[in-house]
Amino acid sequence: MTGVLLRAAHVTRRFGAFTAVDDVSMGVHPGEVVGLLGANGAGKTTLIRMLLGLIAVTSGRVELLGGPPDRERRRRLGYVPQGLGLYGDLTVRENLSFSARAYGTAEPALPPELTGQADVLVRKLPLGAQRQVAFLAALAHAPDVLVLDEPTSGVDALARAALWDTIRAQAERGTGVLVTTHYMQEAQQCDRLLLMSEGRLVAEGSEADIIGSTTAVAVRTGDWARAFAALAAAGAPVMLAGRAIRVANADPAELAEALRAAGIEASLQPVPATIEERMLMLSRQARAS
Amino acid sequence: MTYSVRSATVRFGSAMALDDVTVEVPAGSVVAVVGGDGAGKSTLLRTLAGEVSPDHGTVQAPPRQRLGYLPASAGSWAALTVTQNIDFVAGIYGLAGDELAARRAELLDRAGLTSAAGRLAAQLSGGMRRKLGFIMAIAHRPDLLILDEPSTGVDPVSRIDLWRLASEAAASGAAVLMSTTYLDEAERAAHLVVLDRGRVLVQGSYDQVRAGFAGALTQADQPVRAEWCWRRGRVLHEYWPLGDPSAGTTIAPDLEDIVIALSLARRNAVPS
């Protein structure tokens, strides 16, 4: 499979007077994992729903596997929505059998962790196991394109690593993967990132491309809570990375002055920015324009 | 003042939700509980909040009217506006008149919700709804604030607002216990507790947890022992509990690595 698997060209979607997605162009190629980032309400889910043919575009064009996202092409797609898309009142086996028949494929074998749960109602399973079932249902027909909306929200670190193993294995066999996440460590596992803010695609590329020349100032102090409050009150775009206070795109001299005025002792050091900081900067700019 | 759950065991039928768990929450600090779905986070929080009685063990918590609790579910009423939600809950705790109006305005401002005051809770974004739940839990200035996954599904920018609210509550003297699935948030807390299947896998400050990590971690393209490996991006990390790696480059673990390594050690030693 070559070419672009999933493509949006100047896609816009309005709901009444509200523009949810504004002139977005993007693509997903075979074998790559593309991360779609953005704040709640940035337009990520609306964009995905258009790419999948679940809602119509207002203007522009979407292509799935080289054509419109019709039923025939959607058979070659695997999709795990945020709500997982399972039937809670059906058992694990019934869910898998239903989705296998819808895609015209064989019912997948259960992994060892789920073999004892075949006849359990899905709503009675813990969330982590439900996620596993949703992945199995989405992958049984060996899709060419895989779309995952916050696939690991709420699962533990070990289960998250296992789900990423599955995602990577799919990419290695040529599937193109589009994944949304709020988890920055997860964004770092993607080959390429797309960053949306207020409906627009505001940055694209590797982590380094997105961060670009943005820098930050790390503030080291014994009392991070007070320093954080003082800097936020001074209007600085304050972030936390672990316990370190960081301020993106700031002038160290101005920060030092704000801290001195609040009577807080701290040392300031310029550092490279993180994706989260770049997101905060871009969303502030998008909101201001 | 330090609130606590000591040697707590909680069973739901035959399921062991908490197994001999001790956690202390001192006034003025934020304690974070991390773990996945089913680890026991909510049960621990509900035990401290008095919603669950432990089968064994003791609970030290302030009287109910001095406690603030944000449950994992909505925490607000969808059919009420932001203002009505706050007024209703604050009213239960006896806030009224000018005092209520001033407190409401202050909290809305700190949460960045002032412009949404007249909106129905049903019309808020996920991040805004969690912030509303938070300020409802804190409106009466509780001595102990218990927050069940305030930031799950909330975007990174709103998560920062939530952390500022939690840290300000601690800075003004409250004891704060919060659960999260984001490990970078747990690093931020004064004390972190990693729960796994009802038991404490490790707890302490981030520095203590790192210093106490035994064994070695390597990075390689190919695993030596598949059952001790996990993927981080394009490379694999492998844990050597005895600190005797036979291959790969030794690297320093971050919290994510430590939690996965300890979970694996428990899984590989105790078949479930």
Q: What is the ipTM of this complex?
A: 0.74
| B106 and B234 inside one domain | no
Tokens of B61: 């918590």
| B65 and B159 inside one domain | yes
Flag whether residue A2 sits within 8 Å of chain B, measured between CB atoms: no
Least confident of A213-217, A219-223, B198-202, B268-272: B268-272
pLDDT at B50: 94
Helix (H, G, I), strand (E, B) or coil at A121: strand
- The rounded distance, in Å, linking the Cα atoms of B117 and B97 is 17
CA separation (Å) from A73 to A65, A66, A67, A145, A177? Answer: 7, 9, 8, 10, 16
pLDDT at A243: 63
Among the listed residues B186, B196, B189, B154, the one whose alpha carbon sits nearest the alpha carbon of residue B38: B196
Domain limit, last residue, from B163, B188, B207 = B207
pLDDT at A150: 85
8 Å CB contact of A158 and B259: yes
The answer to whether B79 and B120 have CB atoms below 8 angstroms apart is yes
pLDDT tens, residue by residue, B63-104: 999 999 999 876 799 999 999 999 999 999 999 999 999 999
Residue with tokens 């190629």: A29
Q: Does residue A240 register a pLDDT over 50? A: yes
Tokens of A98: 């239903």
- The rounded distance, in Å, linking the Cα atoms of B17 and B196 is 10
Flag whether residue B181 sits within 8 Å of chain A, measured between CB atoms: yes
Q: Output helix, strand, coil percentages for chain B, rounded to the nearest 5.
A: 40, 30, 35
8 Å CB contact of B232 and A38: no
Out of B168, B184, B230, whose CB is closest to A225? B168
Residue of B nearest to A83 (CA): B153
Domain ranges, residue B239: 213-269
Least confident of A74-78, B136-140, B163-167: B163-167
Which residues are CB-neighbours of A266 under 8 A, at least 6 positions away? A219, A220, A221, A227, A256, A259
8 Å CB contact of B260 and A157: yes
The answer to whether A75 and A88 have CB atoms below 8 angstroms apart is no
| B163 and B39 inside one domain | yes
**Chain B residue numbers touching A184 (CB-CB < 8 A):** 156, 184
Residue of B nearest to A278 (CA): B157
Q: Which residues pair with B78 in a beta bridge?
A: none
Q: Does residue B231 register a pLDDT over 90? A: no
8 Å CB contact of A155 and B181: yes
Tokens of B23: 């956690």
CA separation (Å) from A54 to A45, A50, A81, A109, B37? Answer: 11, 6, 12, 29, 30
Flag whether residue B264 sits within 8 Å of chain A, measured between CB atoms: yes
Out of A39, A229, A232, whose CB is closest to B157? A39
Flag whether residue A76 sits within 8 Å of chain B, measured between CB atoms: no
Tokens of B247: 């291959």
The answer to whether A251 and A229 have CB atoms below 8 angstroms apart is no
Got the DSSP string for A55-74? S--SEEEEEETTB---HHHH
Taking residues B145-169, what's their average pLDDT?
84
The number of beta carbons lying within 10 Å of the beta carbon of residue A257 is 12
pLDDT at A1: 47
| B63 and B198 inside one domain | yes
User: What is the set of domains in chain A, with CATH numbers?
Assistant: 6-210 (3.40.50.300), 215-272 (3.30.70.790)
Flag whether residue A208 sits within 8 Å of chain B, measured between CB atoms: no
| B169 and B189 inside one domain | yes
Flag whether residue B228 sits within 8 Å of chain A, measured between CB atoms: no
- The rounded distance, in Å, linking the Cα atoms of A256 and A248 is 14
| B239 and B174 inside one domain | no
- The rounded distance, in Å, linking the Cα atoms of B196 and A177 is 30
**Chain B residue numbers touching A18 (CB-CB < 8 A):** none
What is the tally of structural domains in chain B?
Answer: 2
- The rounded distance, in Å, linking the Cα atoms of A221 and B164 is 16
Residue of B nearest to A239 (CA): B160
Got the DSSP string for B191-215? EEEEEETTEEEEEE-HHHHHHT--S
Say what percent of chain B tops pLDDT 90: 57
DSSP state of A67: B
Chain centroid to Cα B74, Å, comes to 16
**Chain B residue numbers touching A185 (CB-CB < 8 A):** 183-184, 256
| B203 and B218 inside one domain | no
- Strands A192-197 and A33-38: what pairing? parallel
- The rounded distance, in Å, linking the Cα atoms of B179 and A30 is 38
Higher pLDDT, B114 or A23: A23
Q: Which residues pair with B237 in a beta bridge?
A: B219, B230
Q: State the distance between the two ends of chain A, measured CA to CA, in whole angstroms.
A: 41
Domain limit, last residue, from B207, B229, B246 = B207
Say what percent of chain A tops pLDDT 90: 43
DSSP state of A122: G
Q: State the distance between the two ends of chain B, measured CA to CA, in whole angstroms.
A: 39
pLDDT at B36: 79
| B73 and B142 inside one domain | yes
pLDDT tens, residue by residue, B184-193: 888 888 899 9
- The rounded distance, in Å, linking the Cα atoms of B249 and B191 is 30
| B31 and B118 inside one domain | yes
Domain limit, last residue, from B163, B180, B207 = B207
Which CATH number covers residue B139?
3.40.50.300
Higher pLDDT, A151 or A7: A7
DSSP state of A106: P
**Chain B residue numbers touching A41 (CB-CB < 8 A):** 125
8 Å CB contact of A157 and B263: yes
pLDDT tens, residue by residue, A141-199: 999 999 998 888 777 888 888 888 889 989 999 999 999 988 877 888 899 999 998 89
Flag whether residue A116 sits within 8 Å of chain B, measured between CB atoms: no
**Chain A residue numbers touching B155 (CB-CB < 8 A):** 38-40, 42, 182
pLDDT at A201: 94
The pLDDT confidence band at residue B199, using thresholds 50, 70 and 90, is very high
pTM of the model: 0.81
- Most B CBs within 10 A among A117, A158, A188, hence the mutation to make, goes to A158
The pLDDT confidence band at residue B272, using thresholds 50, 70 and 90, is very low
Flag whether residue A47 sits within 8 Å of chain B, measured between CB atoms: no
Taking residues A231-238, what's their average pLDDT?
80
| B252 and B191 inside one domain | no
Residue with tokens 């986070």: B41
The pLDDT confidence band at residue B270, using thresholds 50, 70 and 90, is low
| B66 and B109 inside one domain | yes
The pLDDT confidence band at residue B167, using thresholds 50, 70 and 90, is confident
Q: A181 φ, ψ to 5°?
A: -155, 150
pLDDT at B123: 85
| B127 and B184 inside one domain | yes
pLDDT at A241: 64
Q: What letter represents residue A204's amino acid? A: E
Q: What angle do CA B127, B130, B131 make, to 5 degrees?
A: 85
Cβ burial of B150 (10 Å; 0-12, 13-18, 19+) is buried
pLDDT at B163: 82
- For A33-44, b/e burial (b = at least 16 CB within 10 A) is bbbbbbbbbbbb
CB contacts under 8 A, B 82-101 vs A, are: none
CA torsion A84-A90-A96-A102 (nearest 10°) is -90
pLDDT tens, residue by residue, A25-57: 999 999 999 999 987 778 998 999 999 999 999
Give the closest-approach CA distance of A68 to chain B in angstroms.
Answer: 31
8 Å CB contact of B158 and A161: no
Taking residues A236-265, what's their average pLDDT?
82
Q: B144 φ, ψ to 5°?
A: -125, 125
